[in-house]
Structure 1
Amino acid sequence: MVTFARGFGTGGKEIASKLAKELGIHCYENRILTLASQMSGLDEEIFREVDEKIRNKGGFASFLRGLPKAKSYIARNEKFVSDDKLFEYQSKIIENLAETESCVIVGKCADYVLRGNPRVVSVYIEAPRAFCLKRTMEKMGVTEEVAAATITQTDKFRADYYEYYTGGNYWTNPVNYDITLNSEKVGIEGCVDMVKHLLELKGLI
């Protein structure tokens, strides 16, 4: 089991996907939202709206109240009232995945949820701002201004989310992870190889 945390534009998701493909295992990111949706009975789009974000006013309950009354899932899920509940669903799914299969999980505070599990390797991917800007502009086809705003906003959401659900831990603190890699210096393929090597050293592959 490998968990990935990543700065926006670093290539962390690509690294995670390549690693999973080379190891012949599943890579979970948004698929966890699908599973959480199935577990709760709520529409998956609701989970996507608050994924790795902290809402300052009202949490999930406020968000649900703002949806059209005609949505049948609102009436039958009145007890689903907070982002905390979403995190609870996700955590249960992550714990179950760790117990039942070898896989790669991207985001969702998976490193924290699975802390103490000796069969889990946690990875943090970071890179210089210029590198992230260039990748974001190329991948999204946007201007430097839009790319910069996207990186800043997304990383803030991820940092706030991590701090809130881990009881105050700082998202980019290398102490939280088994290994931290600079994707510009190491390269996408190099990061994959280094994580594989760490898995070998720990006897996990």
Structure 2
Amino acid sequence: MEKQLIISVGREFGSGGHEVAQKLADDYGIALYDHDLLKEIAAKKNLKSEDLEAYDELKWNRFLYRTVRGLNSSPEQNVANLQFDFLKEKAKSGESFVVVGRCSETILREYESMVSIFIRGDKPQKAERIMKYYNMNEKDALGFMKEKDKRRKQYHNRYCPIAWGDSRNYDLVVNSSRVGVDGCVEQVKHYIDLVRKYHK
């Protein structure tokens, strides 16, 4: 049986991190879990995916909700917990997969088969990617990038002890502006080969 491999991908908006994750999943022939995992959760729980997506990766306001007997009245936290539990179940089952975000580098840290990476980039190259992908001008792209990263940071830092983007939280941090998407994939695969070599 093939040894389990879990790849956790954190990324700055516009860095191409999602593309890196997709290429890794394709190269290893394993599943990719990103925001679409809510559809799988919804089907399993007999819920509407749109209802879950409405509260995905939102900032949780602790002053508006409370926890009683382990149950929280915050829909944002409940949706986050559903995703965390889903990923833990997949990991526990022995499945190999790539996961984008979802605090996965923290919630799956106990698994030796997990490799955590963070894809960052330089502002000009990230803005250029966003402008092209979303058909935006530079000013709008920079504002969009700032807002998306702010939202990711708030979400991550709500549930994780080490701040989003802090290199101590990841096995490997790669700058896509320096090596491109394919270069990031190459670096990650090389690192995984080394990890497997020294942890047989």
Which TM bucket (shorter chain)? Answer: 0.7 to 0.9
Q: CA deviation at 1:57?
A: 8.0
Partner Cα separation in structure 1 for residue 43 and residue 73 of structure 2 = 14
Contact residue 163 and residue 171 of structure 1 kept, 8 A: yes
Query: Residues 72-126 of structure 1, C-alpha deviation per residue, up to 9 Å, x if partnerless?
Result: xxxxxxx864322112111111112213311100011111110121110001000
Moved more, 190-199 or 91-100: 91-100
TM-score of the pair, normalised by structure 2: 0.86
CA contact (8 A) 1:59 1:83 kept: no
* 2:130 equivalent to 1:115: no
Task: Provide the aligned C-alpha RMSD in A.
Answer: 2.2
The Cα offsets for residues 36-82 of structure 1, whole Å up to 9 and x where unpaired, read as 32344332112222222214487799xxxxxxxxxxxxxxxxx8643
Match of 1:15 in 2: 20
Please tell me whether residue 185 in structure 1 is matched to residue 168 in structure 2: no
Q: Name which of structure 1's ranges 50-59 and 25-34 shifts more when overlaid on structure 2.
A: 50-59
Match for residue 97 of structure 2 among 89, 103, 107:
103
Query: Where do 5+ consecutive residues of structure 2 fail to align?
Result: 1-5, 67-71
SS at match of 1:50: coil
Give the partner amino acid of 2:49. Answer: E
Indicate if the aligned counterparts of 1:37 and 1:43 stay in contact, CA closer than 8 A.
yes
Q: CA separation in 1, counterparts of 2:53 and 2:92?
A: 25
State the Cα deviation string for residues 145-187 of structure 1 (Å, max 9, x = none): 22111111110000000110114x2101000000000001121
Residues of 2 paired with 1:86 and 1:119: CA distance?
A: 26
Cα 1:5–1:60 change in 2 (3 A) is farther
Name the SS for the 2:157 alignment partner: helix
2:55 to 50, 59, 64: 50
The sequence identity of aligned pairs, in percent, is 30
What does residue range 38-117 of structure 1 map to in structure 2 within 5 Å?
Answer: 38-56=43-61, 81-100=74-93, 101-117=95-111
| TM-score, structure 1 normalization | 0.84
1:137 aligns with 2:131: yes
| 2:20 partner letter | I
- SS of match in other structure, 1:108: coil
Q: How many residues align?
A: 187
Would you say the 8 A contact 2:88–2:108 is kept in 1? yes
Moved over 6 A (4+): 57-61
Contact 2:120 2:174 in 1 (8 A): yes
The DSSP-based 3-state class of the residue aligned with 1:42 is coil
Q: Structure 1: which amino acid aligns with 2:185?
A: V
Distance in 2, Cα, partners of 1:39 & 1:152: 34
**Counterpart amino acid of 1:24?**
G
**Farther-moved stretch of structure 1 (6-15 vs 25-34):** 25-34
Say if 2:119 is the partner of 1:125: yes
The equivalent residue for 1:73 is none
Deviates more, 1:110-119 or 1:120-129: 110-119
Distance 2:131 2:149 in 1: 16
Relative to structure 1, is the Cα distance of residues 108 and 59 closer, same or farther in structure 2, using a 3 angstrom cutoff?
Answer: farther
